[in-house]
Amino acid sequence: MGGIRRNKAVIFALVFPGLLIFVFAVLYPIFKSVYYGMTDWKGIGEFNFIGFGNFKAVIFEDKVFRTSLLNAALLAACTVLLQHPLAMFFAIVVDRVGKRLESFFRATLFIPCVISVVVTSKMWVNVYNSSYGLLNKILDVFHLGYLKQDWLGNPKIALYSVIFVIMWQGFGYAFLIYYSGLKGVPEELFEAGRIDGANSWQKFTHITLPILKPVILVNVSIAITSSLKQMEPIYLMTNGGPGTKTQFVANYLYMKAFNSQQYGYANAISVVFVIVCLIATVIVQRLFRTREQ
Amino acid sequence: MKLLKRGLVLILAFALLISMAACGTKEAASTPDTTAVESTPAAEAAVETTPESGSSEPVTINFFSNLPDRSSGQGLLEQTILDNYMKENKNVTIKIEALQDEPYKQKFQSYVASNNLPDIFHVWGQPSFFEAVMEKGYVAELNPNDYTNYGFFPGATKDFSYNGKLYGLPRNQDLTTLYINKAKFADNGVKIPTTYTELLDAAKAFRAKGIQPLAINGRDKWILNLFYQDILIKVSGNQQTIYDASSGKTTFSGDPDIRKAAELFKKLVDAKLFQDSFTSADYGAAQNLFLQEQSAMFYMGAWEVGMASNQDNSESFRKNVDLVPFPIVEDGKGKITDVCAWNGGGYAVSASSKVKAEGLKLLNYMMSPDNWPKIGWEKGLVVPGQNYEKYLTGKENQLQLGVTSILKTATSMSGTSWNDVNPGEWKTTVENAMQEYAAGITTVDEFLATLDKAVVKK
């Protein structure tokens, strides 16, 4: 059987279909995007070739593009600094709880991920409604009425309201990945630690964390790339508003293409966006690679 | 044995390739779904291959509509007329695809981009939407002589024409309307506003009683532009003011009437005239607030006159709803009879349709005086863009009577709303600017400067 696996013709035959799909579904559209990005196509009729004008405008002049990237960076930071520690904490607790409760908690913590993003986004829009929403009503019940806000309409806090919903929905994935990572930590190490007189915190920092490093890397990469490509929650909750305070790149280029009918410019945005995502991924990989060594 | 193994591997490779290709084409064929929860699309549009010929040959016409609710309002009217047509022409099958406004516009763009427009479809007679479509020859030319007896109001077909040729027919006389809930005013001792100050006072009075004064769909930014235009009409008394600024003849920052209207607008926002979270309320949410009698007023268009006849609305609401003309501004030059009105929605036939003759026949049938205007008015569903005086039944609901009286006494009409008057990026730029101003993100100077910059750019 080893013969089959090493046979170059066999390898090629099995990889070829996937490669073909990748070239036509991913690479070719990207090249077409680069091409259309260099025109002023309005979606209908002819267009003129305008070179790198669109790209220059996107990188140097477009304030909304910059806002979108900053919003994505903020979302990534919140996810890594708030959601992940919480997910890891829950993973440790659920791991220790054991027996039947463990599977119960695993299921319930994962439920938000399974619900359609359309349903959760529209649900949160209603929860956040400043007159009839659940959130403000609960604050009233607990005599915290002074904390009531226009959660999605106030330009100062709308972004954080949206970030919270995105973190809430993605929590289950982060939790699940850390939980599976934890299950891979050998029990003998904790035994050894206990014998050596380590307390819980020392066990965590010296045993759990080092072993979880690859898992953390995976989770952080996912957090950063998914923060960059957020579109549906934005489109459904605020459509980038009020103004452009909660705008993200994917929603912005969607609006540019379909609302403003600037297909050429939208293509340029998407190409610059791909480059930004690639750079971000490479940076994350580099950071974690040095640590692993 | 080696040959057998190699053969098996090759078969496996082919199977993978074919299955992935099949998956690929399936994904490509299923049209990307829109995310609007409120839309309930009817049958998906099918590709037409039957050649157009005599009336005995079966014909399928693809109809693309922006009215997903087929059980009330304009959607019901459209469905009724199409059903009647199919009854009278047994060989014709009309396949309807319906999406709400925003998803409709986006899907329309992809139909145009792939040169795959349905045979007959809804259009907005606004340069921002229709001009490019007419210019590039995507719609079939219509013969004006067919419509001499159709009774279209003067100027109604202006925005559906390009270079002197007619390309579409309007279906409504659209105007902005301030709907009110009479009971809310009476029960709380608030005067129904006829002037700006009374509107401001009403806002404060309702807020003092914990009632939302006016429901508006601020998330769909265009309604804010209309509200502002209504104020400006009453300040300047000249419908042209905003169009001169939009075309660059004058400037937004330099015109004192424009600036004053902007300041008056802000004063209403600051007095909390609009409902809480109005910038995240969409059409359905804002209208629902009014239908549930949770707000005293609702700012929308005359196409909603069906609200008073719709049995789905509570009897209390149907009794209490009414409308008033937009208040005048005390020291402004506009009269109460200067209205913000235009002919927005309409229909057109695709120039590349394989059943063009049939499509045109259907269009002419739909808009003929006995159909759209007559049925629409008698059932209280729309305000037609054609003369409907001979269809007055005497059983009109109060909203229809209100709109008829406004139209009859109008001394001037605006035409297409200012955010739709230039093609390209203009619409999104000025709508964004309007929403940012309403949300308090920009000052009046920044707002006007943004508008002026957008004019130069075009």
Whether residues B76 and B164 fall in one domain: yes
Structural domain for B76, as ranges: 59-172+344-391
Q: Which residues of B64-85 are buried (b: 16+ CB within 10 A; e: fewer)?
A: bbbbbebebbbbbbbbbbbeeb
Mean pLDDT of A112-117: 93
Residue whose C-alpha is closest to residue A123's, from A273, A257, A280, A237 = A237
For residue B277, the chain A residues in CB contact (below 8 A) are: 128-131, 150-153
The pLDDT of residue B427 is 87
Give the torsion sign (CA, B219, A157, B204, B238). Answer: negative
Distance CA B368, CA B366 (A): 6
Q: Is residue B242 part of a domain?
A: yes
Residues B185 and B260 in one domain: yes
pLDDT at B40 over 80: no
CB-count burial class (<10 Å; 0-12, 13-18, 19+) for B151: middle
Long-range contacts of A288-292 (CB under 8 A, 24+ apart): A288/A213, A288/A216, A288/A217, A288/A220, A291/A213, A292/A213, A292/A214, A292/A217
* Contacts of the segment A70-78: beta carbons below 8 A, 24+ positions apart: A71/A159, A71/A246, A71/A247, A71/A248, A72/A227, A72/A228, A72/A230, A72/A248, A72/A249, A73/A227, A74/A159, A74/A163, A75/A163, A75/A166, A75/A227, A75/A230, A75/A248, A76/A223, A76/A224, A76/A227, A76/A228, A78/A163, A78/A167
Are B382 and B309 in contact, with CB atoms under 8 Å apart?
A: no
pLDDT at residue A154 greater than cutoff 60: yes
Residues of chain A with C-beta less than 8 angstroms from the C-beta of B106: 258-259
What are the residues whose beta carbons fall under 8 Å from the beta carbon of A171, sequence distance 6 or more? A83, A86, A87, A109, A112, A113
Q: Give the other-Cβ count within 10 Å of A203's Cβ.
A: 17
For residue B275, the chain A residue with the least C-alpha distance is A131
Is B29 within a domain?
no
Residue B330 resides in a domain:
yes
- Is B64 contained in some domain? yes
Residue type, B380: G
Max Cα-Cα span within chain B: 99
Q: What is the CATH number of the domain that holds B365?
A: 3.40.190.10
Contact A130 B277 (CB under 8 A): yes
**Residue A9: predicted pLDDT:** 86
User: Considering only CB atoms, which chain A residues are within 8 Å of B212?
Assistant: 131
Place of tokens 């004058």: B250
Contact B428 A243 (CB under 8 A): no
pLDDT the model gives residue B136: 87
Q: What is the pLDDT of residues B152-179, one digit of tens each?
A: 877 788 889 988 899 999 998 889 999 9
Q: Do both B120 and B145 map to the same domain?
A: yes
The minimum CA-CA distance between B345 and chain A, rounded to whole Å, is 18
Binned at pLDDT 50, 70 and 90, residue B42 comes out as very low
A residues 123-142 closer than 8 Å to B (CB): 125, 128-131
Asked whether residue B20 is domain-assigned, the answer is no
How many Å apart are CA A164 and CA A151, to the nearest integer? 11
A9 CB neighbours in chain B (<8 A) are 6
Look at A261 and B212 and tell me if their CB atoms are within 8 Å: no
User: Could you tell me how far CA A69 lies from the centroid of its own chain?
Assistant: 13
Average pLDDT value for residue range B380-406: 86
pLDDT per residue over B399-440, tens digit each?
Answer: 999 998 898 888 888 888 999 888 777 888 899 999 999 999
Give yes or no for residue B41 having a pLDDT over 50. Answer: no
Q: Is residue B9 part of a domain?
A: no
| Whole-number pLDDT of residue A28 | 94
Q: What is the pLDDT of residue A290?
A: 63
Give the pLDDT band (50/70/90) at residue B53: very low
Mutation choice for A interface testing from B26, B432, B453, B457 by most A CBs within 10 A: B432
Query: Mind spelling out the 3-state secondary structure of B37-88?
Result: CCCCCCCCCCCCCCCCCCCCCCEEEEEEECCCCCCCHHHHHHHHHHHHHHHH
Is the CB of B9 less than 8 angstroms away from the CB of A13? yes
Give residue A4's pLDDT.
Answer: 60
Residues B278 and B424 in one domain: yes
From the list A179, A171, A184, the residue with the least C-alpha distance to A92 is A179
Instruction: With beta carbons less than 8 A apart as the criterion, state whether B388 and B305 touch.
Output: no
Q: Does one domain contain both B292 and B210?
A: yes
B199 and B155 inside one domain: no
Would you tell me the crossing angle of helices B240-247 and B222-236 to the nearest 10 degrees?
A: 120
pLDDT exceeds cutoff 70 at A3:
no
- In terms of pLDDT, which residue wins out, B425 or B283? B283
Q: Which residue from A13, A21, A262 is facing B10, i.e. has the nearest CB?
A: A13
DSSP string, B228-259: HHHHHHHHH--THHHHHHHHTSS-TTT-HHHH
Residue A39's DSSP bridge partners are: A49
- Report in angstroms the alpha-carbon separations of B117 from A74, A194, A262, B125, B141: 42, 72, 20, 17, 15
Confidence category of residue A5, pLDDT binned at 50, 70, 90: low
Q: Are the beta carbons of B344 and B125 closer than 8 angstroms?
A: yes
Q: Which residue has the tokens 């996107």?
A: A58
Report residue B103's pLDDT band, with 50, 70 and 90 as the boundaries.
Answer: confident
A34-66 residue pLDDT tens: 999 998 887 776 788 888 888 998 899 888 899
Question: Do B168 and B178 reside in the same domain of the chain?
Answer: no
CA distances from B210 to B285, B433, B453 (A): 19, 30, 40
> Which structure tokens are listed for A271?
């190409």
On whether any CB of chain A is under 8 Å from the CB of B450, the answer is no
State chain B's mean pLDDT as an integer.
86
Cβ atoms of B290 and B310 closer than 8 Å: no
pLDDT at B37: 32
Confidence of residue A20 (pLDDT cuts 50, 70, 90): very high
Whole-Å CA distances, A203 to A92, A179, A193, A206, A291: 12, 17, 7, 5, 20
Which pLDDT score is estimated for B228?
Answer: 97
Question: Hey, where are the domains in chain A?
Answer: 61-292
Whether residues B144 and B189 share a domain: the answer is no
The DSSP code for B413 is E
* Structure-token pair, residue B454: 């957008």
B135 & B187 share domain = no
* Nearest residue in chain B measured CA to CA from A7: B6
Q: Helices B256-270 & B196-208, crossing angle to 10 degrees? A: 20
Mutate to test the interface with A, among B279, B350, B419 (most CBs of A within 10 A): B279
Task: Give the type of residue at B443.
Answer: T
pLDDT the model gives residue B32: 37
A238-246 mean pLDDT: 84
* A252 inside 8 A of chain B by CB: no
Q: Is residue B168 a contact partner of residue B348, using CB atoms and an 8 Å limit? A: yes
What would the mean pLDDT of B387-399 be, rounded to a whole number? 85
Amino acid at A124: W
Q: What is the pLDDT of residue A49?
A: 86
Mean pLDDT of B301-307: 90
B280 to A259: CB separation less than 8 angstroms, yes or no: no
Interacting residues of A77 by C-beta distance below 8 A, sequence separation 6+: none
Which residues between 94 and 123 in chain A have a beta carbon less than 8 angstroms from any beta carbon of chain B?
118, 122
Question: For B136-153, what is each residue's pLDDT tens digit?
Answer: 899 999 999 888 888 887
CB pair distance less than 8 Å for B6 and A10: yes
DSSP alpha helix (H) spans, A145-248: 158-183, 187-195, 200-203, 209-228, 232-237
Residue B83 resides in a domain: yes
The listed range with the strongest mean pLDDT (A136-150, A196-210, B84-98) is: B84-98
Quick one: B98 and B190 in the same domain? no
Same domain, B217 and B244: yes
Same domain, B289 and B432: yes
A259 closest CB neighbour out of B6, B12, B428? B428
Two tokens, residue B341: 């009105």
Kindly state the average pLDDT of the residues A124-138. Answer: 89
> How far does B424 lie from chain A, in Å, by closest CA?
6
Class of domain A61-292: mainly alpha
> Using 50, 70 and 90 to split pLDDT, how confident is the model at B33?
very low
Asked if the Cβ–Cβ distance from B5 to A122 is below 8 Å, we say no
Cite the DSSP H helix spans in B271-397: 283-291, 315-320, 356-366, 372-378
Q: Number of structural domains, chain B? A: 2
pLDDT in tens, B212-256: 999 999 988 899 999 999 999 999 999 999 999 999 999 999 999
Most B CBs within 10 A among A5, A26, A44, hence the mutation to make, goes to A44
Residues 61-80 of A with CB under 8 A from B: none
